[in-house]
Amino acid sequence: MRKILFDTSCVANTSSGMEIRMKKDAIIFDMDGTLWDAAQQILNSWNHVITELKVDRDPITMEELESMLGKTMDNIAVSLFPFLQPEHAIEVLDRCGEYENAYLRENGGKLYEGLEDTLKILQKDYDLYIVSNCQSGYIEAFLEHYRYQKYFKDIECFGNTKQEKADNILCIIERNGLQNPIYVGDTKGDYDSSRKAGISFIYAAYGFGDVEESEAEIQKFGDLLQFDFEKLDKNK
Protein backbone atom coordinates (compact mmCIF):
# COMPACT_ATOMS: atom_id res chain seq x y z
CA MET A 1 0.00 0.00 0.00
CA ARG A 2 1.41 3.37 -1.00
CA LYS A 3 1.74 5.97 1.68
CA ILE A 4 -0.32 9.15 1.40
CA LEU A 5 1.91 12.18 1.83
CA PHE A 6 0.95 15.31 3.74
CA ASP A 7 3.61 17.94 3.13
CA THR A 8 1.66 21.07 3.97
CA SER A 9 4.83 23.14 3.80
CA CYS A 10 4.42 23.27 0.02
CA VAL A 11 3.58 26.84 -0.96
CA ALA A 12 2.77 27.35 -4.63
CA ASN A 13 2.45 30.64 -6.47
CA THR A 14 0.18 30.71 -9.50
CA SER A 15 1.67 34.03 -10.60
CA SER A 16 5.21 32.69 -10.76
CA GLY A 17 5.05 31.98 -14.48
CA MET A 18 5.76 28.30 -13.88
CA GLU A 19 5.51 26.29 -17.11
CA ILE A 20 4.39 22.69 -16.96
CA ARG A 21 6.03 20.59 -19.68
CA MET A 22 3.66 18.18 -21.32
CA LYS A 23 3.89 14.47 -20.67
CA LYS A 24 0.70 12.67 -19.75
CA ASP A 25 1.48 11.13 -16.40
CA ALA A 26 -1.23 11.94 -13.87
CA ILE A 27 -4.90 12.63 -13.18
CA ILE A 28 -5.90 14.88 -10.29
CA PHE A 29 -9.48 14.55 -9.05
CA ASP A 30 -11.86 16.81 -7.20
CA MET A 31 -13.91 15.06 -4.49
CA ASP A 32 -17.58 16.09 -4.22
CA GLY A 33 -19.47 15.73 -7.47
CA THR A 34 -16.53 13.92 -9.05
CA LEU A 35 -15.61 10.83 -6.99
CA TRP A 36 -18.67 10.67 -4.76
CA ASP A 37 -21.85 12.39 -3.59
CA ALA A 38 -21.82 12.80 0.19
CA ALA A 39 -24.17 15.81 0.23
CA GLN A 40 -26.89 14.16 2.32
CA GLN A 41 -24.40 12.88 4.87
CA ILE A 42 -22.75 16.30 5.09
CA LEU A 43 -26.12 18.03 5.48
CA ASN A 44 -27.20 15.70 8.28
CA SER A 45 -23.86 16.13 10.06
CA TRP A 46 -23.87 19.92 9.90
CA ASN A 47 -27.48 20.23 11.05
CA HIS A 48 -26.75 17.88 13.94
CA VAL A 49 -23.90 20.10 15.10
CA ILE A 50 -25.69 23.46 14.74
CA THR A 51 -28.60 22.03 16.74
CA GLU A 52 -26.22 20.71 19.39
CA LEU A 53 -24.43 24.08 19.59
CA LYS A 54 -27.77 25.95 19.60
CA VAL A 55 -26.75 28.11 16.63
CA ASP A 56 -29.57 30.59 15.97
CA ARG A 57 -30.54 29.69 12.42
CA ASP A 58 -32.92 27.39 10.57
CA PRO A 59 -31.60 23.98 9.50
CA ILE A 60 -29.34 24.15 6.46
CA THR A 61 -31.16 23.09 3.30
CA MET A 62 -29.84 20.85 0.54
CA GLU A 63 -30.18 23.77 -1.89
CA GLU A 64 -27.93 25.89 0.34
CA LEU A 65 -25.39 23.14 0.71
CA GLU A 66 -25.18 22.29 -2.98
CA SER A 67 -24.70 25.98 -3.84
CA MET A 68 -21.60 26.02 -1.63
CA LEU A 69 -19.92 22.78 -2.65
CA GLY A 70 -16.57 23.59 -4.19
CA LYS A 71 -16.03 26.76 -2.16
CA THR A 72 -13.34 27.00 0.52
CA MET A 73 -14.42 26.27 4.08
CA ASP A 74 -13.87 29.83 5.35
CA ASN A 75 -16.16 31.23 2.65
CA ILE A 76 -18.79 28.59 3.41
CA ALA A 77 -18.68 29.46 7.12
CA VAL A 78 -19.29 33.17 6.52
CA SER A 79 -22.11 32.39 4.05
CA LEU A 80 -23.89 29.99 6.40
CA PHE A 81 -23.46 32.07 9.54
CA PRO A 82 -23.36 35.76 8.48
CA PHE A 83 -24.72 36.82 11.87
CA LEU A 84 -21.59 35.51 13.63
CA GLN A 85 -18.15 37.06 13.72
CA PRO A 86 -16.05 35.38 10.99
CA GLU A 87 -13.78 33.69 13.53
CA HIS A 88 -16.78 32.25 15.39
CA ALA A 89 -18.44 31.16 12.14
CA ILE A 90 -15.27 29.28 11.18
CA GLU A 91 -15.15 27.64 14.63
CA VAL A 92 -18.73 26.41 14.19
CA LEU A 93 -17.99 25.00 10.73
CA ASP A 94 -14.82 23.38 12.08
CA ARG A 95 -17.00 21.53 14.60
CA CYS A 96 -19.33 20.53 11.77
CA GLY A 97 -16.36 19.22 9.81
CA GLU A 98 -15.04 17.17 12.72
CA TYR A 99 -18.40 15.46 13.21
CA GLU A 100 -18.80 15.00 9.45
CA ASN A 101 -15.35 13.40 9.06
CA ALA A 102 -16.05 10.90 11.84
CA TYR A 103 -19.44 10.03 10.34
CA LEU A 104 -18.08 9.57 6.82
CA ARG A 105 -15.11 7.52 8.01
CA GLU A 106 -17.59 5.11 9.60
CA ASN A 107 -20.45 5.20 7.10
CA GLY A 108 -19.12 6.49 3.78
CA GLY A 109 -21.11 8.38 1.15
CA LYS A 110 -22.51 7.53 -2.28
CA LEU A 111 -19.85 6.47 -4.78
CA TYR A 112 -20.44 7.22 -8.44
CA GLU A 113 -21.13 4.16 -10.56
CA GLY A 114 -18.04 2.29 -11.73
CA LEU A 115 -15.66 4.31 -9.56
CA GLU A 116 -13.38 1.58 -8.23
CA ASP A 117 -13.30 -0.44 -11.46
CA THR A 118 -12.30 2.72 -13.34
CA LEU A 119 -9.64 3.68 -10.77
CA LYS A 120 -8.10 0.20 -11.00
CA ILE A 121 -7.65 0.56 -14.75
CA LEU A 122 -6.53 4.20 -14.76
CA GLN A 123 -3.92 3.43 -12.11
CA LYS A 124 -2.08 1.16 -14.55
CA ASP A 125 -1.17 4.13 -16.79
CA TYR A 126 -1.48 7.22 -14.59
CA ASP A 127 -0.62 8.28 -11.07
CA LEU A 128 -3.82 9.40 -9.34
CA TYR A 129 -4.23 12.33 -6.92
CA ILE A 130 -6.97 14.28 -5.12
CA VAL A 131 -7.14 18.05 -4.56
CA SER A 132 -10.22 19.47 -2.84
CA ASN A 133 -11.36 22.65 -1.08
CA CYS A 134 -12.51 20.55 1.88
CA GLN A 135 -11.45 20.53 5.53
CA SER A 136 -8.52 18.47 6.81
CA GLY A 137 -9.47 14.83 7.31
CA TYR A 138 -12.29 14.74 4.75
CA ILE A 139 -10.33 13.07 1.95
CA GLU A 140 -8.80 10.69 4.49
CA ALA A 141 -12.31 9.68 5.68
CA PHE A 142 -13.20 8.75 2.08
CA LEU A 143 -9.96 6.81 1.57
CA GLU A 144 -10.15 4.99 4.89
CA HIS A 145 -13.79 3.97 4.67
CA TYR A 146 -13.40 2.42 1.22
CA ARG A 147 -9.75 1.41 1.66
CA TYR A 148 -8.81 3.40 -1.42
CA GLN A 149 -5.38 4.51 -0.21
CA LYS A 150 -3.87 2.06 -2.69
CA TYR A 151 -5.21 4.04 -5.66
CA PHE A 152 -3.98 7.54 -4.79
CA LYS A 153 -0.38 8.63 -4.54
CA ASP A 154 -0.93 11.99 -2.80
CA ILE A 155 -3.70 14.37 -1.70
CA GLU A 156 -4.06 18.03 -0.75
CA CYS A 157 -6.84 20.30 0.49
CA PHE A 158 -7.68 23.80 1.69
CA GLY A 159 -7.87 22.61 5.29
CA ASN A 160 -4.19 21.63 5.25
CA THR A 161 -2.70 24.62 3.45
CA LYS A 162 -5.30 27.45 3.65
CA GLN A 163 -4.51 28.02 -0.03
CA GLU A 164 -6.87 28.23 -2.99
CA LYS A 165 -7.33 25.20 -5.21
CA ALA A 166 -5.03 26.38 -8.01
CA ASP A 167 -2.16 26.67 -5.53
CA ASN A 168 -2.91 23.24 -4.08
CA ILE A 169 -2.90 21.75 -7.58
CA LEU A 170 0.55 23.27 -8.07
CA CYS A 171 1.64 21.87 -4.70
CA ILE A 172 0.75 18.38 -5.91
CA ILE A 173 2.54 18.98 -9.21
CA GLU A 174 5.71 20.28 -7.58
CA ARG A 175 5.76 17.76 -4.74
CA ASN A 176 5.44 14.79 -7.08
CA GLY A 177 7.39 16.06 -10.09
CA LEU A 178 4.43 15.83 -12.45
CA GLN A 179 4.84 16.81 -16.09
CA ASN A 180 1.33 16.72 -17.57
CA PRO A 181 -1.41 16.34 -14.97
CA ILE A 182 -5.07 16.60 -15.92
CA TYR A 183 -7.72 17.83 -13.48
CA VAL A 184 -11.20 16.29 -13.34
CA GLY A 185 -13.89 18.32 -11.56
CA ASP A 186 -17.52 19.36 -11.70
CA THR A 187 -17.67 23.11 -10.99
CA LYS A 188 -16.74 26.40 -12.60
CA GLY A 189 -14.30 26.88 -9.71
CA ASP A 190 -12.57 23.63 -10.67
CA TYR A 191 -12.30 24.79 -14.27
CA ASP A 192 -10.91 28.20 -13.27
CA SER A 193 -8.41 26.64 -10.87
CA SER A 194 -7.16 24.23 -13.53
CA ARG A 195 -6.67 27.04 -16.00
CA LYS A 196 -4.92 29.18 -13.39
CA ALA A 197 -2.60 26.26 -12.60
CA GLY A 198 -1.92 25.81 -16.32
CA ILE A 199 -3.26 22.28 -16.75
CA SER A 200 -5.97 20.57 -18.81
CA PHE A 201 -9.48 20.13 -17.42
CA ILE A 202 -12.21 17.53 -17.86
CA TYR A 203 -15.72 18.48 -16.75
CA ALA A 204 -17.59 15.83 -14.74
CA ALA A 205 -21.03 16.72 -16.09
CA TYR A 206 -22.79 14.27 -13.74
CA GLY A 207 -21.76 16.34 -10.69
CA PHE A 208 -23.16 19.44 -8.98
CA GLY A 209 -21.92 22.28 -11.17
CA ASP A 210 -22.29 23.70 -14.65
CA VAL A 211 -19.17 24.44 -16.70
CA GLU A 212 -20.15 25.83 -20.09
CA GLU A 213 -16.58 26.85 -20.97
CA SER A 214 -15.11 23.36 -20.80
CA GLU A 215 -14.16 21.78 -24.12
CA ALA A 216 -13.95 18.29 -22.62
CA GLU A 217 -16.53 16.48 -20.49
CA ILE A 218 -17.62 13.08 -19.26
CA GLN A 219 -21.20 12.00 -18.55
CA LYS A 220 -20.20 9.28 -16.09
CA PHE A 221 -16.98 8.43 -14.27
CA GLY A 222 -16.27 5.38 -16.40
CA ASP A 223 -16.13 7.56 -19.53
CA LEU A 224 -12.53 8.37 -18.56
CA LEU A 225 -11.55 4.93 -19.85
CA GLN A 226 -12.52 5.94 -23.40
CA PHE A 227 -11.23 9.49 -23.18
CA ASP A 228 -8.68 10.66 -25.74
CA PHE A 229 -6.18 12.49 -23.54
CA GLU A 230 -3.96 13.24 -26.53
CA LYS A 231 -6.76 15.21 -28.14
CA LEU A 232 -7.39 17.04 -24.88
CA ASP A 233 -3.77 18.20 -24.82
CA LYS A 234 -4.07 19.57 -28.35
CA ASN A 235 -7.17 21.55 -27.40
CA LYS A 236 -5.67 22.89 -24.17
Question: Is pLDDT at 1 greater than 50 in this prediction?
Answer: no
DSSP state of 105: H
Compute the Cα dihedral for 74, 131, 203, 105 and give only its sign: negative
Question: Is pLDDT at 12 greater than 90 in this prediction?
Answer: no
Q: In whole angstroms, what is the distance from residue 57 CA to residue 33 CA?
A: 27
Q: Which residues of 163-182 are buried (b: 16+ CB within 10 A; e: fewer)?
A: bbbbbbbbbbbebbebebbb
How does strand 217-218 pair with strand 200-204? Answer: parallel
Task: Provide the whole-model pTM.
Answer: 0.89
pLDDT tens-digit profile of 30-71? 999 999 999 999 999 999 999 999 999 999 999 999 998 888
Kindly report the length of the chain.
Answer: 236
Domain spans in the chain, listed from the N-terminal domain onward: 24-36+111-235, 39-107
- DSSP assignment of 163-218: --HHHHHHHHHHHHT-SEEEEEESSHHHHHHHHHHT-EEEEETTSS---TT-S-EE
Average pLDDT of the residues in 131-145: 97
CATH class of 24-36+111-235: alpha beta
Question: Percent of the chain beyond pLDDT 90?
Answer: 82
